[in-house]
Amino acid sequence: MKPEKKTAFSEVAALEERYQLATYKKMPVIAERGEGVWLYAADGQKYLDLYGLLFYSNLVYSEARARAAEKLVTIAPASLTKVFFCNSGTEANENAMRMARMATGRENIITFAGGFHGRTADAISATFLGRYRELGKPNVPGHLAAEFGDLESVQQLADDSVAAIMLEPIQSMAGVRMAKPEFYDGLRRLCDERGIVLIYDEVQTGVGRTGEWFFAGSEAGARIVPEVITLAKALGSGIPVATCLVTEKIAAQINENDLGTTFGGGMMAMAAVKATLEAIEQDDMLANVKVVEAHLRESLASFPNVVEIAGKGFLLGLRFTGKAGDIHRALLDRKIITGTSSDPHVLRLLPPLCLKSSEVDLFVKALREVCEGYEHGL
Ligand code: PLP
């Protein structure tokens, strides 16, 4: 990866140290590119690489990583000042839970019925949705389930064994379930009172999907900010990459070697993160999401078959009285791709952030035809 201009070693090193968790001891080299056995550093020096540093790049500095970390922290809520890069949503959630356990010295994690957090051992054990948890047997101990939107159910579990409360702030796979602002506010207060770490799994809601960079800090979420946000999916526009964004207080509890990952923070993924965030900014996609969401809602407001439109921005759940699966298939026949969910009546829309109102009109027209064809039973 060739930086556009040569940057001084001290600047890159300072950025990496400022914006990332200090989990790796790095060699004083900024890796720029490789050729055969040779690693070329940003200062023009070449090194005989006997340690495979282009795939294990956390052991050297990288301008691409420094800039991606800087960009992420710049757009994040102000209290989230450090990042830890990894490769997938499940890995980000595993690390988030581990950090909460390290920071509090406690073991239990409260998550919610209907939440999905991934398929590796600890994350699937935190997933109380359908039969996912069963698939992860034997489950990791230390997981408790509360009811989403029901603060009292959380209060009952939140004793001094609890390290973290983790939630998808909008439960996507469960059928796009969003709670009232008071619920998020109540969780923040409860965590503050009882020394519990609040983790938002924003693997789906993050990176602009709701029309804001994050659900955390948004009006719909009572403007509250957790100690940890996890991101993946859209973060690299298809290149596998994920991250945990954390507060300074959490970062201070994490020491060298406490967390790690060979590929996390790799140069290609980092270039993808920076390019993704810049494209969202340059094309004003957050504003676009809001405008087009409003158009979609308005267009479907008088649709007799759509009984509810849940969610925010471009994470929307259209509730039908009949089976969403039938509509999904009929739309696919008309060359329109939508998603289903674990709720059989909810059709999910998670379009690219560049979707335009004119393209929404194509969807609405097709949906009208489909619904007319299914007059009975939808
Ligand atoms: N968390 C949420 C909310 C998700 O929707 C997903 C995947 O669908 C994950 C975590 C797991 O992410 P990954 O598949 O990248 O491991």
Q: Give the position, in ligand 1's atom list, of the atom nearest the Cα of 91.
A: 16
The region, left, alpha or beta by phi > 0 then psi within -120 to 50, assigned to residue 25 is: beta
Q: Is the CB of 172 under 6 A from ligand 1?
A: yes
CA 118–ligand 1 middle distance (angstroms): 5
Query: Does the structure show a pLDDT above 90 at 2?
Result: no
Query: Mean pLDDT throughout 124-136?
Result: 96
CA 167–ligand 1 middle distance (angstroms): 12
Q: Is the CB of 118 under 6 A from ligand 1?
A: yes
- pLDDT, tens digit (0-9, with 9 covering 90-100), for 146-174: 999 999 999 999 999 999 999 999 999 99
Q: Give the position, in ligand 1's atom list, of the atom nearest the Cα of 115.
A: 3
CA 358–ligand 1 middle distance (angstroms): 30
Residue with the nearest Cα to atom 13 of ligand 1? 89
Instruction: Report the helix count and the strand count for the chain, using DSSP H and E.
Output: 12, 15
Task: Round the average pLDDT of the chain to a whole number and report it.
Answer: 95
The pLDDT value recorded for residue 235 is: 98
- pLDDT, tens digit (0-9, with 9 covering 90-100), for 59-78: 999 999 999 999 999 999 99
Query: Does the structure show a pLDDT above 80 at 8?
Result: yes
pLDDT class for 3, splitting at 50, 70, 90? Answer: very low
* Residues across the chain: 378
Q: Is the CB of 168 under 6 A from ligand 1?
A: yes
Query: Mean pLDDT throughout 195-223?
Result: 98
Query: Mean pLDDT throughout 307-330?
Result: 96
Longest dimension (CA), the chain: 72
CA 271–ligand 1 middle distance (angstroms): 22
Nearest to 341 by CA among 316, 361, 358, 373: 316
CA 175–ligand 1 middle distance (angstroms): 15
Residue 58's contacts (CB-CB under 8 Å, 6 or more residues apart) are 23, 24, 26, 260, 261, 262, 264, 265
For ligand 1, pick from 90, 173, 215 the residue to mutate: most ligand atoms within 8 Å of CB: 90
- pLDDT, tens digit (0-9, with 9 covering 90-100), for 176-193: 999 999 999 999 999 999
Residue with the nearest Cα to atom 10 of ligand 1? 117
The pLDDT value recorded for residue 373 is: 79
Residue with the nearest Cα to atom 5 of ligand 1? 204
For ligand 1, pick from 233, 341, 350 the residue to mutate: most ligand atoms within 8 Å of CB: 233
Q: Give the position, in ligand 1's atom list, of the atom nearest the Cα of 205.
A: 3
Q: For residues 305 and 55, which has the higher predicted lDDT (pLDDT)? A: 305
Find residue 320's DSSP bridge partners.
306
Q: Is the CB of 204 under 6 A from ligand 1?
A: yes
Query: Does the structure show a pLDDT above 70 at 6?
Result: no
- pLDDT, tens digit (0-9, with 9 covering 90-100), for 265-312: 999 999 999 999 999 999 999 999 999 999 999 999 988 889 999 999
Query: Does the structure show a pLDDT above 70 at 99?
Result: yes
Here the tokens at position 207 are 């990176």
- Spatial contact of 34 and 40, defined as CB atoms under 8 Å apart: yes
Find residue 2's DSSP bridge partners.
none
CA 33–ligand 1 middle distance (angstroms): 31
Q: Is the CB of 88 under 6 A from ligand 1?
A: yes
Nearest to 258 by CA among 266, 267, 250, 248: 250
- pLDDT, tens digit (0-9, with 9 covering 90-100), for 334-376: 999 999 999 999 999 999 999 999 999 999 999 999 998 776 5
The pLDDT value recorded for residue 179 is: 98
Residue with the nearest Cα to atom 1 of ligand 1? 117
Percent of the chain topping pLDDT 70: 97
pTM for the full predicted model: 0.96
CA 377–ligand 1 middle distance (angstroms): 32
For ligand 1, pick from 117, 124, 348 the residue to mutate: most ligand atoms within 8 Å of CB: 117
Q: Is the CB of 171 under 6 A from ligand 1?
A: no
The pLDDT value recorded for residue 5 is: 57
Q: Is the CB of 241 under 6 A from ligand 1?
A: no
